[in-house]
């Protein structure tokens, strides 16, 4: 891939993406669907950006962007506030998460007429069950929604992002597309290992931060450490042991730890503010590139072939899977109020993580079609699996963001109008 072409693409997308995001702000529409549609226009429709180039660039943009977004989102999450809603968040990120994954997977399998227990559907469920802090946080910051509800959904989204990545990795291993010696040990390694690695990284950075004055270099140091944690968890540790550690989980945990620890030192306030500002700016750039490149990565032939199936899967995930999963989870003692449960059920937009995962899975399947067992490819070829997952995820992101960002405040006012 030529350097000049990549630089040209980036300049086009950053300038255009900024204008589009500003336009969305003016007309009160979330920028994500606009960026996705713009990606479709400059990609498969006008062919300004080659689909092959977009797919190649997206793999790097998505992973690095995810690291920055998770770090920044977790860094700004305050434990003293999170503790008040922790029980609900835990229920949403365990029971509801599993329910959404399984029901979405079953719907996908029924739509594509493949056996109910075929793992391909549950791969779709794993990719799309994570909600998006990058969509929720701007919505809640500009509205009068009860902070308790807003913090609950924001915290759910920050922590189910790495969980979605862990679940996707495990299901990929089940179909021969990722290394795994034992699925139970692999889950423990990915999740618990990610937590331990994140805490270790946080403590190391805290020691360095307090002993040395890095001034303007403190943020590059933190970003570098976040990238190192990901590299160790996803590349070095699997090479040494055969099991993986979720680098994304580690980055989120490190961000949460540091965001709640470094603020205790008043003399370091300027450095902390610098970190927050830098991460916010990088996150904005990452979001623009991720969603435009996702739109540009979908070929017109694949979109035309699967958009109806993808739309049905999206509707099922949004209006069946999430409501059922959330209602089951939040009905457990201490049960939430019915109005809160309904709001949580209908406010879970998908975004950055599903976008990044869908493109990664698409590339992994097309690069290793021979690794998928024949009992799976009997029903869908590897190319059909990859294309259908990409389009179904695209439709889920587009529909959930357009609908749920639009009705976030009106739905709140309708449900809580007596308060």
Q: What is the CATH number of the domain that holds 398?
A: 1.20.1530.20
Torsion of CA 318, 324, 326, 330, to 10 degrees: 160
Q: How confident is the model over 128-187, as pLDDT tens digits?
A: 999 987 778 777 777 788 888 988 998 898 788 888 888 998 899 888 887 665 767 877
What integer is the mean pLDDT of 208-235?
A: 90
Q: Which helix (H) or strand (E) holds 24?
A: helix 3-26
Q: What whole-number distance in Å separates Cα of residue 413 and Cα of residue 419?
A: 9
pLDDT higher than threshold 90 for residue 401: no
Question: Residue 33: its pLDDT value, please?
Answer: 83
Question: DSSP string of 194-222?
Answer: HHHHHHHHHHHHHHHHHH---GGGHHHHH
CA-closest candidate to residue 221, choices 196, 234, 204, 237: 204
Rounded Cα gap, residues 194 and 172, in angstroms: 18
Asked if the model's pLDDT at residue 113 lies above 70, the reply is: yes
Cα distances (Å, whole numbers) of residue 100 to 354, 376, 413 = 14, 22, 26
Instruction: Answer yes or no: is pLDDT of 1 > 70.
Output: no
CA proximity to 293, closest of 23, 63, 128 = 63
d(CA 6, CA 11): 9
Give residue-wise pLDDT tens across range 322-362: 999 999 999 998 888 999 999 999 999 998 789 888 888 99
DSSP at 335: P
Structure-token pair, residue 412 = 């709140």
Q: Which domain holds residue 343?
A: 3-415
Whether omega for the bond prior to residue 138 falls within 30 degrees of 0, making it cis, is: no
**Residue labelled with tokens 């290394």:** 179
Strands (E), 139-184: none
Q: Give the predicted TM-score (pTM) of the model.
A: 0.83
Judge whether residue 266 has pLDDT over 80.
Answer: yes
pLDDT value of residue 103: 97
Residues found in the chain: 419
Q: What is the pLDDT of residues 31-90, one digit of tens each?
A: 878 888 899 999 888 888 888 888 788 878 888 888 888 898 888 888 887 888 999 999
Calpha distance 164→131 (Å, rounded): 9
Asked if the model's pLDDT at residue 259 lies above 80, the reply is: yes
Using CA atoms, how far apart are residues 89 and 105, in angstroms rounded to an integer? 23
User: How many other C-beta atoms are found inside a 10 Å radius of the C-beta of residue 199?
Assistant: 15
Q: Tell me what the pLDDT averaged over the chain comes to.
A: 88
154 neighbors 77 (Cβ within 8 angstroms): yes
Q: Please give the backbone phi and psi of residue 337, each rounded to the nearest 5 degrees, phi first.
A: -60, 150
Number of domains comprising the chain: 1
Which helix (H) or strand (E) segment is 124 a member of? Answer: helix 119-128
Nearest partner of 342 among 366, 324, 368, judged by Cα? 324
């Amino acid at each position: 891939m030529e350097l000049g072409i990549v630089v040209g693409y980036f300049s086009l997308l950053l300038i255009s993406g900024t204008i589009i995001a500003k336009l969305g702000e003016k007309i009160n529409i979330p920028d994500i669907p606009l960026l996705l549609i713009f990606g479709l226009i400059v990609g498969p429709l006008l062919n300004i950006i080659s689909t092959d180039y977009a797919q190649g660039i997206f793999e790097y943009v998505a992973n690095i962007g995810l690291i920055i977004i998770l770090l920044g989102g977790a860094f700004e999450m305050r434990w003293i506030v999170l503790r008040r809603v922790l029980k609900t968040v835990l229920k949403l990120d365990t029971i509801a998460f599993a329910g959404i994954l399984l029901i979405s997977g079953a719907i996908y399998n029924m739509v594509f007429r493949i056996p109910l227990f075929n793992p391909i559907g549950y791969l779709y469920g794993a990719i799309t069950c994570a909600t998006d802090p990058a969509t929720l946080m701007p919505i809640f910051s500009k509205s009068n929604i009860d902070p308790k509800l807003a913090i609950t959904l924001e915290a759910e989204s920050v922590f189910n992002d790495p969980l979605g990545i862990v679940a996707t990795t495990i299901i990929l291993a089940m179909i021969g597309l990722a290394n795994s010696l034992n699925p139970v040990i692999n889950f423990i390694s990915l999740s618990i290992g990610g937590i331990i690695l994140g805490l270790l990284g946080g403590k190391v950075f805290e020691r360095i931060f307090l002993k040395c004055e890095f001034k303007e270099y403190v943020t590059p140091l933190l970003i570098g450490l976040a990238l190192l944690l990901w590299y160790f968890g996803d590349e070095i540790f699997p090479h040494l042991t055969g099991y993986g550690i979720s680098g994304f989980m580690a980055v989120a945990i490190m961000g949460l730890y540091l965001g709640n620890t470094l603020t205790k030192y008043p003399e370091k306030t300027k450095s902390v503010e610098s970190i927050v500002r830098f991460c916010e700016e990088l996150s904005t750039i990452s979001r623009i590139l991720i969603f435009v490149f996702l739109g540009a990565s979908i070929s017109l032939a694949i979109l035309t072939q699967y958009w109806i199936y993808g739309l049905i899967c999206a509707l099922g995930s949004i209006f069946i899977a999430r409501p059922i999963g959330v209602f089951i989870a939040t009905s457990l003692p201490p049960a939430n109020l019915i109005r809160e449960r309904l709001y949580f059920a209908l406010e879970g937009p998908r975004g950055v993580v599903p976008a990044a995962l869908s493109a990664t899975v698409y590339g992994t399947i097309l690069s290793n079609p021979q690794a998928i067992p024949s009992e799976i490819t009997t029903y869908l070829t590897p190319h059909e699996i990859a294309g259908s997952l990409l389009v179904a995820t695209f439709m889920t992101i587009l529909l959930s963001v357009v609908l749920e960002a639009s009705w976030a405040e009106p739905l709140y006012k309708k449900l809580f109008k007596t308060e």
